[in-house]
Amino acid sequence: MAGNLNKSIKNSITIEKVAFEILIEAYTIALSKKEYDLDWTEEQFSQYLVSIMEKSSIRVRHQLCIRQERKLHDNTYLPVGINNPKNLPRIDISIASWAFKLNIEQEFFFEAKNLCEKNWIKKSGARVSSKYYLDRYISTGIENFRIGRYYNGAIVGYILQGNTYMILKELNNRLFTDNSTVRSIKKINYINNFQNIYHSKHRVRSSTLEIKHMFLKF
């Protein structure tokens, strides 16, 4: 069943909350259709979920523009130096709309990472390293948000093998040794009827950054 926004926040709907809602709906549909392949890369999973979101009534209702592999450029600067399109980071899913604030486009992002509990072998014969996935979730997921390379978004973990609890335990074991971690990944009550949303907190200079995480088990 797709998640629904908590009653307490229905009067303050934001692009972030709607982004979570439409992605959860797409995931629920994907599970029921069973057209995906566990051999897929995270880009393939993201593209598949985006194709489902594009058909959603939620997209129409909130006038959402949904894109994949969005380059994070700053339109207030010329396309040179760190703003050169060749050097810009890409983030997996972008969900934007003009409907939430008058005359202002708001945008929320999801960075996607494949995850697994144990090493396994794809049908193609390719070997998958759980350690590589876990380390990468932190080094190119959490850390990219912490240093500001990514912003205004959350991380979604596509779990292709194993147990979500054990994967979280391994991620938190790594975060415990990181001096920038203020709070490891903990469950939060954010969307009704969907339990796999979490958050963590990280030190950024003199302030603290909260990052939300969503884990989708395929």
Of the pLDDT bands very low, low, confident and very high (cuts 50, 70, 90), residue 1 is very low
Average per-residue pLDDT in the chain?
A: 92
Q: What is the DSSP letter of 205?
A: T
d(CA 152, CA 109): 6
How does strand 4-5 pair with strand 191-192?
antiparallel
CA proximity to 113, closest of 68, 159, 145, 71: 159
pLDDT digits (tens, 9 = 90+) for 10-68: 447 899 999 999 999 999 999 999 999 999 999 999 999 999 999 999 999 999 999 99
218 token code pair: 């395929």
pLDDT digits (tens, 9 = 90+) for 62-74: 999 999 999 998 7
- Residue-range domain boundaries for the chain: 4-217
pLDDT digits (tens, 9 = 90+) for 109-127: 999 999 999 999 999 999 9
Unique residue bearing structure tokens 């393939």: 44
